[in-house]
Amino acid sequence: MKFLFDLFPVILFFGVYKYGENHQDWAHGLATQYLGGLIAGGAVPPSQSAILLATAVAIVATFLQIGYLLVRGRKVDNMLWLSLGVIVVAGGATIYFHDDTFIKWKPTILYWAFAAALLVAQVFYRKNLMRSVMEAQVKLPDPVWNRVGYAWIVFFFAMGLLNLLMAFVVFRTDTSAWVSFKLFGFTGIFFAFVVVQTLMLSKHIEEDA
């Protein structure tokens, strides 16, 4: 359930974009009505209506995520606050300039911010953030935890590079394909990485047990 909760804005972004792409009049009408005053020049380009509408929905969804946690008295993870900041800035720029370049940079900025936070904490403060997150589930020797931390740093950095490759090279002229890859491709890669890492760590977990 937590995984679906975390993916809530991404799923809505995907759904609204795909529906708007196939119902351009609907998307253009809503985007003009609700976003016209936020766009430079005040005119919503029909071809950009779906991405602008999806971006606005993703921003609102992220606010709702945080609002829900606060109302329930739960702690809001720093990563979620960071995600809110990035999507407000990148998404806001996409809407204002009616240019999807900014929202396409959002995953890369977020992944690299995660990588930077892990690296700074581990190298300069001797604090392994991945150990803090995972240690309740698995027990590993200290040297192995260090490797786990660096593995996630490399993973997040690589994911940021992959997003740039997909957004601006492979799918440079096909925003729809990038939107699909953003949900299904990155989710699949994330799960594959977790599975491979779990298999590699299994012998250490067994030894510790």
- How many other CB atoms sit within 10 Å of the CB of residue 16? 22
From CA 65, how far away is CA 80, in angstroms rounded? 9
Whose structure tokens read 């047990």? Answer: 209
CA 105, 107, 113, 115 torsion-angle sign: negative
pTM score, whole prediction = 0.91
Q: Are 55 and 13 in contact (CB under 8 A)?
A: yes
Q: What is the pLDDT of residue 167?
A: 98
Q: What is the pLDDT of residue 19?
A: 97
Q: Are 139 and 208 in contact (CB under 8 A)?
A: yes
Model pLDDT for residues 15-63, shown as the tens digit of each residue: 999 999 999 999 999 999 999 999 998 888 899 999 999 999 999 999 9
From CA 29, how far away is CA 27, in angstroms rounded? 5
Q: 75: left (phi > 0), else alpha (psi -120 to 50), else beta?
A: beta
Model pLDDT for residues 113-125, shown as the tens digit of each residue: 999 999 999 999 8
Q: Which amino acid is at 107?
A: P
From CA 45, how far away is CA 200, in angstroms rounded? 50
Tokens found for residue 182: 């953003």
Model pLDDT for residues 124-163, shown as the tens digit of each residue: 989 999 988 888 788 888 888 999 999 999 999 999 999 9
The structural domains of the chain, with segments of one domain joined by +, span 1-99, 100-209
